[in-house]
Amino acid sequence: MPPRPLPQLTLALFKPDVCANPLLPPRILDAVRARDFDLVALRELLWARADAEQFYAEHRDRFFFERLCGYMTSGPFQALILSKPDAIKSWRALIGPTHPVRARLNSPDTLRALYGLTDTRNSFHGSDSEKTAWREIGFFFPEFDVDAWRATAGGK
């Protein structure tokens, strides 16, 4: 029997528009579990403007920066660490294209097609690479010990 692939971690965000409806996060978590993701950690947050500006600093000069920071400080949201082999690619496939209108046309079963509102209010975030995932996980979960995780649950 071939060895089982090692799990990968990714950061997922359920943004404020999703969390504004208390029925949606549990429904979305069901969809996440149905696709064999393990929920490693979950944290609910309410950001100050400085938090949003720090996390999205790489977009500071982009036209959508102000709108994005306003959106992400508009209410509580959830940060999650998800795990499974190929977690980054799998989570990004589940959330779908960044623009919900495009998602509805091209990927109608994705989470953004189902719940996204606009290109800025697109309901979800997913890390785009392993390097980004480590940085983002550290931002939201500074106490998370990757080595301890790998030694226990991560090495299943």
- The whole-number pLDDT of residue 153 equals 67
- The whole-number pLDDT of residue 156 equals 53
CATH number at residue 78: 3.30.70.141
Which member of 125, 126, 133, 141 is catalytic? 125
Domain that holds residue 43: 8-143
- The whole-number pLDDT of residue 95 equals 97
Q: What is the DSSP letter of 29?
A: H
Q: For residue 3, is it within any domain?
A: no
Number of C-beta neighbours around residue 36 at 10 A:
11
Q: For residue 151, is it within any domain?
A: no
pLDDT less than 70: residues of the chain: 1-4, 153-156
60 is in an annotated binding site: no
Q: How many domains does the chain contain in total?
A: 1
- The whole-number pLDDT of residue 112 equals 96
64 is in an annotated binding site: yes
Q: For residue 1, is it within any domain?
A: no
The Cα 88–Cα 126 span in angstroms is 7
27 is in an annotated binding site: no
21 is in an annotated binding site: no
Q: For residue 22, is it within any domain?
A: yes
Assessment of whether the complete model's pTM goes beyond 0.75: yes
- The whole-number pLDDT of residue 119 equals 86
Q: What is the DSSP letter of 46?
A: -
- 8 Å CB contact between 109 and 48: no
* Residue 8 bridge partners (DSSP): 84
- The whole-number pLDDT of residue 155 equals 54
Q: For residue 148, is it within any domain?
A: no
- The whole-number pLDDT of residue 32 equals 97
Q: For residue 28, is it within any domain?
A: yes
Q: For residue 87, is it within any domain?
A: yes
- The whole-number pLDDT of residue 147 equals 84
User: CB under 8 Å to 37, separation ≥6 — which residues?
Assistant: 82, 83, 84, 87, 90, 91
- 8 Å CB contact between 37 and 113: no
Rg (CA), the chain: 16
Residue with tokens 């919900």: 100
The Cα 85–Cα 149 span in angstroms is 15
98 is in an annotated binding site: yes
Known catalytic membership, residue 125? yes
Q: For residue 149, is it within any domain?
A: no
